[in-house]
Amino acid sequence: MGEKRKIAVAPAIQVGGSLFTPEQLAVIGRVSDADAKIEVTSFKQWYLEIPAERVEVIKEELERAGLEVYPAGFVTKSLIACQFCKGAEEAGLETARRINQAIAGLETPTPLKVGYAGCALGTSEPLLKDIGIVKMRDTFDLYVGGEPKGLKASLAALLVAGLTEEELVPVLTKMIDHYKQHAKGKEKFSKFVNRISLERLKQIVC
């Protein structure tokens, strides 16, 4: 058996949430070995193990089917978005896609989960993510440091309210870059936020 490589696969961000078509499922089955294991993750990505020498060919085939392919491991995961139940325009579907394009796959000290909700209902549970974005009419509130696991689970804290769409991506990328540059080893994002404090983080990224 040759070397295997793990990749992450997700459907496009769309109204209705994480939806696969029958064709996409067929492509995933076709590019996977008969004995391959496909892991469904908690962050709405599927992990596939594929032959290392066929990574680029398989990636192209998956993308032709309308799927998105990302690196697995210690990176920013693709945006965990809501179902846009209030409609694509009102809930900010195109904004969510731009955020995903800017941040998904960036190398980080530990896996980083970013949630997006198109309204205050928060059906994607953004306050349980490392970074949470909530659209509030025409602006966005940014939360940080959510911790969903363990006996000390906690909600993310509000970092800044009222960001415009133009401000949102630069603030996010600056924050992720600062985390990448200043984390202590494999320091989790929630611990990083607590160590440097919300006030200091806000000064740095805003």
Whole-structure pTM value: 0.94
For 139-169, the DSSP string reads EEEEEE--B-SSTT-BPPEEEEEEE-HHHHH
Q: pLDDT at position 128, please?
A: 96
Q: Is residue 160 scored above 90 in pLDDT?
A: yes
Mean pLDDT of 74-81: 97
Q: Is residue 68 scored above 90 in pLDDT?
A: yes
User: What integer best gives the mean pLDDT of the chain?
Assistant: 95
Among 35-44, 95-104, 116-125, 170-179, where is mean pLDDT lowest? 35-44
Q: pLDDT at position 33, please?
A: 81
Q: Is residue 36 scored above 90 in pLDDT?
A: no
DSSP 75: B
Cα 85 from chain centroid (whole Å): 19
The domains found in the chain, sorted by start residue, are 4-71 (3.30.70), 80-205 (3.30.413.10)
Give the 3-state DSSP-derived string for 35-54, with helices as H, strands as E and coil as C.
CCCEEECCCCCEEEEEEHHH
Q: pLDDT at position 1, please?
A: 57
How far apart, in whole angstroms, are the C-alpha atoms of residue 156 and residue 88?
25
Place of tokens 């398989």: 58
Residue 10 sits at φ, ψ, to 5 deg, of: -145, 150
How far apart, in whole angstroms, are the C-alpha atoms of residue 80 and residue 103?
12
Please answer whether residues 38 and 32 qualify as being in contact, where contact means their C-beta atoms are separated by less than 8 angstroms.
Answer: yes
Q: pLDDT at position 118, please?
A: 97
Q: pLDDT at position 108, please?
A: 98
Give the tens place of pLDDT for each residue, 105-144. 999 999 999 999 999 999 999 999 999 999 999 999 999 9
Q: Is residue 2 scored above 80 in pLDDT?
A: no
Q: pLDDT at position 75, please?
A: 97
How far apart, in whole angstroms, are the C-alpha atoms of residue 18 and residue 6?
20
Please answer whether residues 78 and 104 qualify as being in contact, where contact means their C-beta atoms are separated by less than 8 angstroms.
Answer: yes
